[in-house]
Every structure is written in C-alpha cells, then in structure tokens.
A and B are shown apart, each in its own frame.
Chain A
Amino acid sequence: MSSLQSSAWRAASTVIRRDLLLAFRRPGEWLQPLAFFLIVTLLFPLSTDPELARLRQLAPAALWVALLLASMLALDFLFREDANDGTLEQLALSGQPFAVLLLAKTATHWMLTGLPLAVVAPLAAVALGAPASSVPQVLVTLLLGSVSLSLIGSIGAGLTLGVRRSGALLSLLVLPLAIPTLVFGARATQLAMVGESVAGPLYLLGALAVLGLTLAPLAAAAAVRISLE
C-alpha cells in the first residue's frame, strides 16, 4: 500500500513539475488573466466618480467580481490542451488515482493563476482606496477565495471539455457555484477595509476551501472521465 501511495505522490509531483515547466516556456498564457484582472479593476475608477470614499465602497465588489471573471478566463487553460493532445487520456491510464493527478493539475493551475491574482489584488485594493493596514487581511481572504474558485472551476472545466466553444457554458456552470465564495469573500474584504474583525467570513471561506479540496477532485475526475468517452 505504501509503495502505491508513494508512486501516487511521485506521479502527482511529476504532473506539477511538468505543468510548471510548460508554463515557464509559455508565460503569456498565465499572464493574460492577471492583465485582465488589472484592467477590469482599473475600469471601475474610470467609470465612476473618482471620489475616494465612493471608490472605497465599491472596492470589495470590484475586486471580487474581477477575480471571479479572471479566474473564469484562466479555467480554459486547465484541461483543454491536455484533452486535445491526448495527455489527459494517458493520465487516466497511468494506473495512478486520477483524482490525485487532476488535483495536482488544479494545484499547479492555482499557483500560476490564483496565487498571482491574490498577490496582485491587494495592490489594486490599495489603489481603490483600501488602507495599507488592511493589506494582510485582504491577501488572506483572496488566497482562500481563489483556492475555492480554482477547485470549483476544475469541475466545470472537466464537464465542458467535450464542448467546442465552452466559455459561456463554463461560466453558466461555475458562476452560480462560486456565489458563496463571492459573498463571504467580498464581505471579508469589506470588513478588513473598515478595520473590523474578518474572522467570521474568513472561517466560512476556509470551510468552503476545505469542502472544495475534499469533493472537487473526485467530481472533476468523474467529469473528465465522462468527457473522455
């Protein structure tokens, strides 16, 4: 049993190393969502009265909606290419637990899209009028939220693999599932910006992330298997 477990770990780390190397060879792919996020958050002050008090009110909503849309945009890179060139089939046939391999892919995807977004977002928050003292709390909120979004997204990306132009369908599937994350995430950011305790919504975000971590890989594996039929 332990040799099986260690070979599953080796397989998972292989997937992570491979996807990181590929991303390193093609940086454009994962920089796109980041650029998209920065532009969307920039559009908010431009489209409203640039008064700081007003921006500060809008900031949590702007950040979270932009984060949600940017991570939607990034989801298309998650499984699509591996499905097209047959790599996903080979992962399914590797004799390793498929859910673990897909979790490794999702984790790498989060490192390349969710993590940079969560790191850049507090800067955008400051630009939108958040006090500098709230940055650590906003960062933690966004990190937890982006983990959930990547995990939920992996289910949607798996389900829509068989669809040629999956963008709109993917959003229809994933956005409703992302609502709890959005609600608690925006609330936590709002509380952080006015200097109140964020513990409540933060715990709920953590719970959502753990729920996603336990269930999403299994659901994604089932979804991808259906798409491979």
Chain B
Amino acid sequence: MLEVSELHLWRGDRHLLRGLNLSLAPGEAMQLLWPNGTGKTSLLRTIAGFLYPESGHVRWQGQSIDQDRDAFHRDLAYQGHGTALKADLSATENLRFACDLRHETSAAQIHDALDRVGLQGLRPDLPVRSLSAGQQRRVSLARVMLWKARLWLLDEPASNLDASGQQILRDLLERHLRGGGLALLAAHQAVPLDSAACRLSHSPGATA
C-alpha cells in the first residue's frame, strides 16, 4: 500500500505540488497524465526518495519511507528518463549486473526476460550502444520485470516504443497488477490497460 499525503514540493521558486494526496492499493495502477512541467517526474522522484518534500509524507506499507529507506527501495523498481544501461555492455551483461545488485538471478531468467520483451533474436555480444532507442527501452523494461519489485514507478515507459513494444508494456503491467503489484506511471499518453484497477489523473489537483 502506497500513500502520499498532503505533499508540498517546491522546486526552486515554484510551488509544484500543493497538498497532493494519492493512494494505491495492491493490484492498482495510476497513470499521471498531467501537462508538461506540472511535476510528474518530481512526484515520482519524491516517492523514490531522491527529492525531499517541504511537507507531507510518503508511506509504504503504513510506514514512512524515511524510516527504512533501504527496505523500501528493495520493494521498488524505478525507471527514470535515463536508461541506466551501459552502452559498452551487451543487453545480457547489463541485466546481469543490474540484477546481481539486488538478488540472485539465473541466466535462464535473464534470457526469459529478454524473450518476453521481444529481444530474443539479439546477438548476445552486441553492445547496447548499437541498439535502437526503442530496443534500449525494452531492455530497461526487462530489467524492471527481473527486479520482482512490488511497486513500479515508471517515467514515460512508452517513449520510443513501437506498437508491439507498447503491447509488451501493457502485458507486463497487467501481469504485474494481477500479481498484486502496484504501479505509478508518468506518461503523456495513457497506456490502454484493460484492468479496472487503473486510474487516470489529469492534473495534480485532481488526484485521489
């Protein structure tokens, strides 16, 4: 359960989030479709713990995230603007290192994840720098999946993805929600999820 209550955030001299409230239960997703520059990314970064709000709380499983950040982060998969992939390493190597940081992951699981994001035909030694932007985005989706985190914070996950890539993103999200996961997405276009548990938020003022 993720709860954000009475969040006030200033960036420089702009009062970006004014008393924002938001809550997500297991199996629920929310897509933030706010206009540009209204604080989507800042909200995700505040929840992840990079930004410190002027007032208000972010609670995970009833506990403020400040109490045990490391434990909260183990439940969290965050995908920001950067791909966080190393251009000189192959997709498999990138995933291997990203997973080893958190928990044991077998080579088969990594192979399986690459299959699932539609990158099965990739030459294993191909460095990520020679992949297209959309393929790189798919690799980072595979990473989010492999982390097995309960809460996904995804910033513009559909950018650079083609139609089949967006279908894959949709499938991953729905599987995640069915398994009791939570997801908060910042996007300029809603990912069309079938799940009834997906809410859309169109402006920072209108969030429940």
Q: Which A residues are within 8 Å of any B CB, using their own CB?
A: 7, 10-11, 14-15, 17-18, 21-22, 25-26, 84-87, 89-97, 101, 225, 228-229
* Contact residues in B for A22 (Cβ distance below 8 Å): 86, 88-89
Tell me which of B71, B80, B88 contacts A95 (CB under 8 A): B71
Bound form: Cα–Cα A153–B207 in Å? 44
* Contact residues in B for A87 (Cβ distance below 8 Å): 82, 84, 86
- A90: nearest chain-B partner, CB-CB: B84
Q: Which of B19-75 contact A (CB under 8 A)?
A: 48-52, 70-74
* Contact present for A89 and B80 (CB under 8 Å): yes
Q: Mark B110-129, 1 if CB is under 8 A from A, else 0.
A: 00000000000000000100
Q: Chain A binding site: helix, strand, loop or mixed by DSSP? A: helix
Bound form: Cα–Cα A101–B86 in Å? 17
* Contact present for B100 and A14 (CB under 8 Å): yes
Expressed in whole angstroms, the minimum distance between the Cβ of A206 and any Cβ of chain B is: 32
Bound form: Cα–Cα A25–B80 in Å? 26
* Contact present for A229 and B97 (CB under 8 Å): no
* Contact residues in A for B83 (Cβ distance below 8 Å): 85-86
By size class, the interface of chain B is 20 to 34
Bound form: Cα–Cα A153–B82 in Å? 25
* Contact present for A17 and B82 (CB under 8 Å): no
* Contact present for A94 and B50 (CB under 8 Å): no
Top 8 nearest A-B pairs (CB, nearest first) are A86-B82, A95-B74, A86-B84, A95-B73, A14-B100, A25-B88, A94-B101, A18-B97
- A18: nearest chain-B partner, CB-CB: B97
* Contact present for B48 and A93 (CB under 8 Å): yes
Known: A7-B103, A228-B50. A93 touches B85 (CB 8 A): no
* Contact residues in B for A18 (Cβ distance below 8 Å): 86, 89, 97
Q: Is B76 an interface residue (CB 8 A)?
A: yes
Q: Which B residues are within 8 Å of any A CB, using their own CB?
A: 48-52, 70-74, 76, 78, 80-89, 93, 97-98, 100-103, 127
Expressed in whole angstroms, the minimum distance between the Cβ of B51 and any Cβ of chain A is: 6
Bound form: Cα–Cα A90–B48 in Å? 11
- A10: nearest chain-B partner, CB-CB: B100
- B72: nearest chain-A partner, CB-CB: A95
* Contact residues in B for A14 (Cβ distance below 8 Å): 97, 100-101
Bound form: Cα–Cα A18–B85 in Å? 12
Bound form: Cα–Cα A226–B171 in Å? 36
* Contact residues in B for A92 (Cβ distance below 8 Å): 50, 73
Known: A18-B97, A21-B93, A95-B71. A85 touches B86 (CB 8 A): yes
* Contact present for B50 and A17 (CB under 8 Å): no
Bound form: Cα–Cα A84–B87 in Å? 12
* Contact present for A97 and B101 (CB under 8 Å): no
* Contact present for B97 and A84 (CB under 8 Å): no
* Contact residues in B for A95 (Cβ distance below 8 Å): 70-74, 76, 102
* Contact present for A89 and B78 (CB under 8 Å): yes
* Contact residues in A for B102 (Cβ distance below 8 Å): 7, 11, 94-96
25 contacts between A and B (CB under 8 A): A11-B100, A14-B97, A17-B97, A18-B89, A21-B93, A84-B82, A85-B84, A85-B85, A85-B86, A86-B80, A86-B81, A86-B84, A87-B82, A89-B50, A90-B84, A90-B98, A90-B101, A93-B73, A94-B73, A95-B71, A95-B72, A95-B73, A95-B74, A228-B50, A229-B50
